[in-house]
Amino acid sequence: MRRTALLLVLAGCAAPAAMVAAPPLDPPGSAESKVVVYRPAGGRSPRIWAFHDGMEFVGFLPPGGALEFLCAPGEHLFLLRGTTEAAVRAELAAGKTYYLRAGARPEFLRLQLVLEPRGAADPETAAEIDEELAGCLRWQAVPREVDAYEQASWDEVAGRLAWYGGKGRAEGAVLRKEQGR
């Protein structure tokens, strides 16, 4: 119980204790896709947000941080969670890398999380992405350290994914195959 509470507190604090620094991943192979989720430093919220690929917890995303992971090509539903949430439906092609920029915008009396697909096929946008990523430290989850968070959030994540896959389908952004590079 103490460990669960600690990890839930860490999800909203300034240091990702369940995460370790990681080098950039190699480009994806011919049978996989690569996703890079990044959060430029200096945003509106100092809190750490949780990122999921469907029911799979990928990691905590601090300000100035990035998560990279390989996954199967095809349909995905990505979920960014903090005090609010954002989702992106994606169709990923094999051998391509896709980019999502995380942020927050003021909305009423709170900050609404935003998960923005970034089309890297355009050279100008690709240069912007590379510049923003240069200021981000890459992180990866320590599996045994995130177990408590996954268990504590399982039902809520499943419910939100079901909503975004059904009634809330129009609420999330869309990442298309051709937006990869």
Angstrom CA distances, 92 to 56, 69, 126, 175, stand at 16, 13, 17, 8
- Per-residue pLDDT, 10: 40
97-106 pLDDT per residue, tens: 999 999 999 9
Tell me how far apart the alpha carbons of residues 135 and 137 are, in angstroms, rounded to a whole number: 7
Tell me how far apart the alpha carbons of residues 45 and 102 are, in angstroms, rounded to a whole number: 11
28-87 pLDDT per residue, tens: 999 999 999 999 988 777 889 999 999 999 999 999 999 999 999 999 999 999 989 999
Please check the confidence at residue 117 and state whether its pLDDT lies above 90: yes
Tell me how far apart the alpha carbons of residues 7 and 148 are, in angstroms, rounded to a whole number: 7
Tell me how far apart the alpha carbons of residues 113 and 162 are, in angstroms, rounded to a whole number: 19
SS3 assignment, position 164? helix
Q: Return the sign of the alpha-carbon dihedral for residues 54, 59, 62, 64.
A: negative
- Percent of the chain surpassing pLDDT 90: 67
Q: Structure tokens of 104?
A: 């927050």
Tell me how far apart the alpha carbons of residues 180 and 33 are, in angstroms, rounded to a whole number: 9
Q: Which residue has the tokens 């949780």?
A: 50
- Quote the DSSP letter at residue 166: T
Split at pLDDT 50, 70, 90, the class of 20 is: very high
